[in-house]
Amino acid sequence: MTSDLERDIHATAEDMTADAKRLGELEEAKSLLDPDDPTARALAEEALTLARMMVPKAALELDMVIEAASDGRQANPERDRHGEAHSPNQRGST
């Protein structure tokens, strides 16, 4: 069964993907306008606002991924820090 943490990571990734898509749309729209077009400023402001909102989401996602990896290592103590499987007598050799 999927854990709450896994669901949260998935939901955050979907949210970030949607934000990135919208940011790309804004940048594409801006590239078609003259810099002095009043619409360009509005699009630039929206892009900046969206990008600023994405930073804490990305940080949260990283924290969740680190937590999930830590939980995974605790559940699989025979794996090294790179996720490589080792027999118990090889654990410290990498």
The pLDDT value given to residue 51: 98
Q: Would you state the structure tokens that stand for residue 18, as one six-digit string?
A: 């949607």
The segments of the chain whose pLDDT lies below 50 read 1, 88, 93-94
The pLDDT value given to residue 86: 54
The pLDDT value given to residue 56: 98
Taking Cα atoms as reference points, which of 73, 81, 76, 78 lies closest to residue 90? 78
The pLDDT value given to residue 72: 73
Could you read off the pLDDT of 18-29 as tens digits, one per residue? 999 999 999 999
Q: How long, in residues, is the chain?
A: 94
85 phi/psi in degrees, rounded to 5: -80, 140
Give the separation between CA 82 and CA 93, rounded to whole angstroms: 13
The pLDDT value given to residue 2: 65
